[in-house]
Amino acid sequence: MWVGGCARRVDRFRDTVPAPARGGTLRGVLVLPQDVEENLLMLFQVLARRALGGHRFATAAGAKRLCPVSCFSTAGSSGLQPSQVQLTTSDAKLGTPEFKIHFLDAKSGDTISPWHDISLFSEREGCFNMLNEIPRYTTPKMEVATKMEFNPIVQDEKKGKLRNYHGPLYWNYGCLTQTWEDPTVQHPAVENCNGDNDPLDVVEIGSDTIPMGAIVPVKPLGIFSMIDDGELDWKLIAIRVDDPAADKLHDIADVEKHFPGTVSGIREWFRWYKTPDGKPINAFGHGERALGKDMALEVIHETHAFWQALARGETCVDKIWIP
């Protein structure tokens, strides 16, 4: 639903104040329900922003922290799990503008958004749901269409032409559901770059090729702060939880130890991949280092909070489609 240029879903979240019987009031204005933990982070952010005159700060980039990561909880998180989702592919062939992968609620048969309706939090403890857009060793630049109704997976276009990488990705590549890099938020620790207006990207380094459109639980291992055309474009490094190597990979140092060259390979691939089109190389923040699991988790939770604000209609960005 479009409201004044801002898309928001009116039935996903509470649009009414809970009954006073469920909790007390704060100065007769704010009612705190018994399940307030669900909205604790948002409450902290709103109060802090008001106290700071409405300014917004990015937490994971090293700016003022409104709430520590430990305040985040999966309690109250909503969304479908992979087993509750079905895929449907259009009759058009891959490599044509008409090709689309849509997603359905397996129980009701209703079309859903893979970005908004699939839970970020996996049923596997400490893991998150990755939507795979680009299987490894392939070149079509597939992505969740954030501006299209129900956000299907399509091949990206530029100037009327379908986009392909000039060389294959050597890893599975997708995004975490229910995350969003807010373009209205600056990150002081990464050259004051704003978010790139997309879900959080994931580079999955496991041994198997994950099919396009598959939703798999992944373990976060580390993260790069890539700067693409002046925007912050985080690249999460993760591994599918069922991969044979998952048990020995717990942080970015483990990747360096067991799979030497992988981290630098990811960085250099994303540094150079646009240059055949005559574009400059991409840059990286944080001294070009791959940051560890703790920072990766902080970015995941930060981008989830940004997505929550978008879904609630508290952050408005033109053309983004929200069911």
Catalytic status, residue 137: no
Catalytic residue among 137, 165, 170, 273: 165
- Alpha carbon distance 256, 250 (integer Å): 11
Tokens coding 311? 């879904």
Using an 8 Å Cβ cutoff, are 132 and 215 in contact?
Answer: yes
- Alpha carbon distance 60, 224 (integer Å): 12
- Alpha carbon distance 214, 153 (integer Å): 11
In terms of Cα–Cα distance, which of 137, 117, 111 is closest to 129? 117
- Alpha carbon distance 320, 310 (integer Å): 9
Using an 8 Å Cβ cutoff, are 144 and 155 in contact?
Answer: no
CA dihedral 117, 122, 123, 124 (to 10 degrees): 170
Instruction: Look up tokens 């190597």; give the residue.
Output: 245
Q: Provide the β-strand partners of residue 172.
A: 204
Distances in Å between the Cα of 166 and the Cα atoms of 5, 16, 169, 282, 309 are 36, 51, 9, 16, 36
Q: Which residues fall within 8 angstroms of residue 21, CB to CB, at 6 or more apart?
A: none
The residues that are catalytic are 165
